[in-house]
Structure 1
Amino acid sequence: MSIVRRACTALLSTVALLAAAGCEREAPPADPVPTLPAQAVTQLVADLRRNDLAAYARHAVPPQLHARLETAWREGRTVWPLTELPLDDRFPSFIAALAAQDAERTLVATYRRQFAGADKELHSAAKTMGLFAIQYVRSEAGYSDTERDHHAQLIAAMSAWAQAAPLGDSARARVAIPQLVSAARATGLAAPDAFARTGMDRSLRRLGPFVERLKQVVNGYGLDLDAALASVQTSLAEQTGDTARVRLRYELAGEAVDAYVLVERRDGRWYLSDVLRHAETEAQAPPKPTRVEPPAAAEGKPLQVNAATKGKPLQATAPGKAKPSQATAPATPAPSR
């Protein structure tokens, strides 16, 4: 997949991304327990606003399931909650490519050669990808009805932003690429087995500064994710015993998002139903087949670009492989997928 296609997919799901804040912190203090359905959603939003995906992972699932996911991560069977993203199986390769030796020079040269000044083509690709992604989430069987509605609104907002963003601005790219390269290297997760060897909790902590830098980079292109998270408002729509529906309202890239998420109570604590479902699936995931990487990726070198050259239409591809019983949860403000 080309850098443009990869970037478009990432831009349409960036809100789902958001990760960890600290690198190697001491054991966290006891977490507050949400006693109301809307509080569970608000807690996850707060985790994401301060870039703490490790806390998000703790708050999103019961302790027993969290322990099973940690085991599955160390065995190389999952990278939950990164599985909430499109192309989650490519995320380790993405980090490795950015952290590769001479990555900054190679990526800047590639950008100049293929994408600098290509705003028209990039905007067209963003529009096409947006339309395709909305169609995808509306037809993919792994999504719940609430996820379909929420993600369609998310994608529409992200696509509208990408169609107006200065994606072909060389000056911005010269600033953004070195920042992402530096942040990727600082994670210490570029080695082929680094994610599994480091484990879920420590890996998510290490990814924090990278995603914080990613937020800063996209903010330079006019997308303020922290402002979107700060704008989130939650309210109880209805509750029946241990199940409830929470209304979620926020503004993303100037567009109003008004959606609902399902929550349920387990052992006295409220959790997002769709996130629980996806996490259970990931905890039971079988070993992944050995992936045969292109020579450049296998050697830790920057991935080569296969995009169309400037002036030619950029083809959109699926935002990610379909996963049975699994949807793309925007780790909030889309805390359910």
Structure 2
Amino acid sequence: MPPTLRSLLAAMALAGLLAACRPVTPVDDAQADTDLSRPALAVQALTRHMRSGDFAAFARDAVPPALHGRVDRAWREGRTRWPLDELPFADRLPEVMSALAAPDAATALVAGFDRQFASAPREIRAAAATLGMFGVQYVEHQGDFSEGERDHYAQLVTAAAQWAAQAPLADRALAHAAIPRLAAAARAAGPATAEGIADAGMEASLRRIGAFSLEARSVLAGYGLDLDAAFDSAQASLQVQQGDRASVRLRYELAGSPVDTVLDMERIDGRWYLSDYLRHAREAAGDDAGRPTPADAPEPAAPPPQGPVAAP
């Protein structure tokens, strides 16, 4: 599959994975305070971060603070790239960015496109169909996905493949404009190598990758994939809440394809989080089998000393 197609689909998946609970418009700093006090509000907060390209804030609000700290340590040690690992595709965005940011990448990729894929819509459509077929089979039968993730990701992959099969991905003029833009955005974002990401840490790296995603989203719009329209079409309703567990039905339209799924959520210390993200983040941090640990909550204050205390 050509690097351009991989880049476009990976960026689309990352931006569209969490569509909004309801239509969301950009917010200013005074309105940007996170409210995780209810299931729908928590999903809306994560969606605002995704829409604005603030992946660092997304990671911060997707898990409790103590778990965030453990994931950050795992990130610096090179053991995880969560939350980028939430992508339902094997290709990881940092590797795509590294390829785009390589010296003379734009020239080489444009030449490669012209040599292999320019004016070759049949090959591109065949690649899209193959991606859809094997992608759906993978998320339905393989991988470490919950039942909810399998349902959601299968719909997402299908929608992406249907878009790619109709999109003008073989258009030479579009590719010649898109590839230099993506390459420039990748260079501006800074090093996306394994060493560079580890040295920068999770928060700084996610900020840079988020900035790249905004340019990728703009490029996608030129290919007919309007992610803002997907965000604006999204609706959610609380299905059931029992104590610290809840489920939310999420519906939106991606590239003309309806997506309808249910998100499981849980409450920790008065805040709501997506259960699948909690599980993956715990696994990323090295927690046993993704199970919650007491460290997910703030440590209690030390008890006062008992018995007589010696005078200094």
Give the TM-score taking structure 2 as reference length: 0.82
Query: Number of matched residues?
Result: 280
Secondary structure (helix, strand or coil) at the match of 1:177 reads helix
Aligned ranges 1:157-172 → 2 under 5 Å: 157-172=159-174
Secondary structure (helix, strand or coil) at the match of 1:77 reads coil
Q: 1:126·1:162 contact (CA, 8 Å) conserved in 2?
A: yes
Partners of 2:44 and 2:144 in 1: CA distance? 25
Secondary structure (helix, strand or coil) at the match of 1:199 reads helix
Identify if the C-alpha distance between structure 1 residues 131 and 169 changes in structure 2 by more than 3 Å, giving closer, same or farther.
Answer: same
In structure 1, stretches of 5+ residues that fail to align are 19-26, 287-323, 326-337
How big is the shift at 1:169?
Answer: 0.2
Aligned residue among 187, 206, 209 for 1:207: 209
Greater shift in the superposed pair: 61-70 or 90-99: 90-99
Secondary structure (helix, strand or coil) at the match of 2:45 reads helix
Match of 1:144 in 2: 146
Match of 2:251 in 1: 249
Partners of 2:12 and 2:136 in 1: CA distance? 10
Aligned residue among 219, 234, 257 for 1:217: 219
Q: Which amino acid aligns with 1:39?
A: L
Aligned residue among 174, 177, 180 for 2:179: 177
Q: 1:77·1:285 contact (CA, 8 Å) conserved in 2?
A: no
How big is the shift at 1:145?
Answer: 1.3
Root-mean-square deviation (Å): 2.6
Partners of 1:57 and 1:170 in 2: CA distance? 37
Partners of 2:32 and 2:133 in 1: CA distance? 43
Partners of 2:209 and 2:34 in 1: CA distance? 24
Secondary structure (helix, strand or coil) at the match of 2:213 reads helix
Identify if the C-alpha distance between structure 1 residues 64 and 89 changes in structure 2 by more than 3 Å, giving closer, same or farther.
Answer: farther
Aligned ranges 1:86-165 → 2 under 5 Å: 86=88, 90-140=92-142, 142-165=144-167
Partners of 2:100 and 2:4 in 1: CA distance? 15
Partners of 1:30 and 1:255 in 2: CA distance? 30
Match of 2:56 in 1: 54
How big is the shift at 1:105?
Answer: 0.8
In structure 2, stretches of 5+ residues that fail to align are 19-28, 291-312
Match of 2:237 in 1: 235
Identify if the C-alpha distance between structure 1 residues 283 and 16 changes in structure 2 by more than 3 Å, giving closer, same or farther.
Answer: farther
- Which of 1 and 2 has greater Rg? 2
Partners of 2:56 and 2:107 in 1: CA distance? 32
Q: Which amino acid aligns with 2:231?
A: L
Partners of 2:133 and 2:91 in 1: CA distance? 23
Aligned ranges 1:189-200 → 2 under 5 Å: 189-200=191-202
Q: 1:12·1:154 contact (CA, 8 Å) conserved in 2?
A: no
Partners of 2:30 and 2:65 in 1: CA distance? 14
Secondary structure (helix, strand or coil) at the match of 1:271 reads strand
Q: Which amino acid aligns with 2:41?
A: Q
How big is the shift at 1:241?
Answer: 0.8
Q: 1:117·1:170 contact (CA, 8 Å) conserved in 2?
A: yes
Partners of 2:137 and 2:90 in 1: CA distance? 20
Partners of 2:49 and 2:189 in 1: CA distance? 19
Q: Does 1:13 align with 2:9?
A: no
Partners of 2:94 and 2:12 in 1: CA distance? 19
Greater shift in the superposed pair: 93-102 or 114-123: 93-102
Identify if the C-alpha distance between structure 1 residues 183 and 9 changes in structure 2 by more than 3 Å, giving closer, same or farther.
Answer: closer
Partners of 2:179 and 2:7 in 1: CA distance? 13
Q: Which amino acid aligns with 2:202?
A: M
Partners of 2:92 and 2:50 in 1: CA distance? 22
Partners of 1:142 and 1:284 in 2: CA distance? 15
How big is the shift at 1:78?
Answer: 1.1
Give the TM-score taking structure 1 as reference length: 0.77
Q: Deviations over 1:89-116 (max 9, x none)?
A: 7433322221111111111000000010
Q: Greater helix percent: which structure?
A: 2
